[in-house]
């Protein structure tokens, strides 16, 4: 089986994150890493590979700036077999539609039975790329799986919703997205890190994919971030003191006013 895992290089959430002058996320001048939510996707792909115990191959695919190779490299260190990095200046500022276009065109050039994605990126956080990919590739989209099994041509997931737990099945080829409940991602071992040195990473540009530069990037985006403001600093909490038995009511009122209940 051939598995493609889509991974995103995102700014490190523990470091300083900034926006560019055009309100797009600064992805070059800040420390970045493989999106944590995509680590779950890599993990699931590797678990499927381990269980198949055949010549299943896992290819990691990332669309992103120069240093996005770090994200690809990390996935290779975890155990993926090879990498593809689509990098092109014209891609900067792309929205989810354009990103999914580039990903889909790249995936078409890679042998694939199963495409695995994380549930969302840790920066944009829209979570729409997997569904867009399934549409663009014309294959089923089985999304938000928190437990995944593959048997023959069938992929089965458990999806935990607020009101129900669903079991969903689809047949290959398909696009799968997995949640942060699907199982902790492995840490790269030293053996994996050494092995990754020798694994191939191909770099493709938009012209390699036959994608018109005008259909991606900030200029082609369907939505624009008009302004950004830093979140105001956290305010001090409110302490409810129960002196005359009215404490419970004060608590309930507070929770209700914040729409927690």
Partner 1 sequence: MTYELSAEHEAFRKSVREFAEAEIAPHAAEWDRKHHFPSDVVQKMGSLGLMGLTAPEEYGGAGLSGEDGGFTSLCLAIEEIGRVDQSMGITLEAAVGLGINPILTFGTEEQKQAWLPDLVAGRTLAGFGLTEPGAGSDAGATKTKAELVDGPDGQEWVVNGSKQFITNSGADITSLVTVTARTGTRADGRAEISTIIVPSDTPGFIAEPAYDKLGWHASDTHPLTFTDARVPEANLLGERGRGFAQFLATLDDGRVAIAALAVGCIQACLDMSLQYAGERTTFGVPIGAKQGVAFQIADLEVMLRASRLLTYQAAAMKDAGRPMKEFKQAAAVAKLYATESAVTATRIATQVFGGYGFMEEYPVARFYRDAKVLEIGEGTSEVQRMLIARGKGLPVE
Residues that bind partner 1 (CB under 8 A): 77, 186-194, 197
For residues 39 and 95, which CB has a smaller minimum distance to partner 1 in the complex? 39
For residues 28 and 194, which CB has a smaller minimum distance to partner 1 in the complex? 194
For residues 194 and 250, which CB has a smaller minimum distance to partner 1 in the complex? 194
Question: Cα angle vertex 126, ends 125, 131, to 5°?
Answer: 130
Structure tokens at 28: 């070059």
Q: How far is the CB of 77 from partner 1 (least distance, A)?
A: 7
Q: How far is the CB of 40 from partner 1 (least distance, A)?
A: 14
Q: How far is the CB of 47 from partner 1 (least distance, A)?
A: 13
Dihedral of alpha carbons 102, 68, 3, 206, sign: positive
Q: How far is the CB of 18 from partner 1 (least distance, A)?
A: 23
For residues 189 and 207, which CB has a smaller minimum distance to partner 1 in the complex? 189
Please state, in angstroms and rounded to a whole number, the distance separating the CA atoms of residues 171 and 114. 10
- Please spell the DSSP secondary structure of 90-156, one letter per residue: GGTT--HHHHHHHHHHHHHTS--SEEEEESS-SSS----HHHHHHHHHTS-EEEEESEEEEETTEEE
For residues 156 and 186, which CB has a smaller minimum distance to partner 1 in the complex? 186
Nearest partner of 91 among 195, 3, 212, judged by Cα: 212
For residues 131 and 195, which CB has a smaller minimum distance to partner 1 in the complex? 195
Using N-to-C axis directions, what is the helix angle for 36-52 and 69-78, rounded to 10°?
A: 40
Structure tokens at 109: 């050039």
Strands 165-171 and 9-11: unpaired
Q: How far is the CB of 232 from partner 1 (least distance, A)?
A: 23
Q: How far is the CB of 165 from partner 1 (least distance, A)?
A: 27
């Amino acid at each position: 089986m051939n598995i493609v895992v889509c991974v995103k290089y995102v700014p490190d959430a523990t470091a300083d994150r900034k926006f560019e002058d055009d309100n797009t996320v600064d992805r070059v001048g800040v420390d970045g890493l493989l999106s944590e939510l995509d680590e779950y996707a890599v993990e699931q792909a590797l678990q499927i590979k381990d269980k198949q115990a055949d010549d299943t191959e896992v290819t990691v695919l990332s669309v992103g700036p120069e240093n996005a190779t770090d994200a690809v490299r990390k996935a290779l260190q975890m155990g993926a077999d090879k990498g593809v990095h689509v990098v092109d200046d014209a891609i900067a500022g792309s929205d989810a539609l354009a990103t999914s276009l580039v990903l889909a065109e790249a995936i078409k050039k890679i042998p694939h039975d199963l495409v695995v994605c994380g549930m969302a990126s840790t920066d944009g956080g829209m979570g729409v790329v997997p569904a867009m990919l399934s549409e663009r590739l014309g294959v089923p989209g089985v999304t938000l799986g928190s437990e995944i099994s593959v048997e023959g041509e069938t992929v089965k997931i458990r999806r935990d919703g607020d009101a129900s737990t669903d079991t969903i099945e689809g047949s290959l080829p398909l696009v799968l997205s997995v949640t942060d409940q699907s199982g902790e991602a492995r840490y790269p071992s030293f053996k994996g890190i050494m092995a990754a040195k020798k694994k191939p990473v191909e770099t493709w540009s938009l012209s390699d994919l036959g994608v018109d530069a005008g259909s991606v990037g900030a200029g082609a985006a369907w939505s624009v971030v008009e302004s950004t403001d830093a979140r105001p600093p956290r305010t001090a909490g409110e302490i409810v003191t129960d002196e005359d038995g009215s404490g419970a009511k004060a608590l309930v009122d507070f929770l209700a006013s914040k729409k927690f209940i």
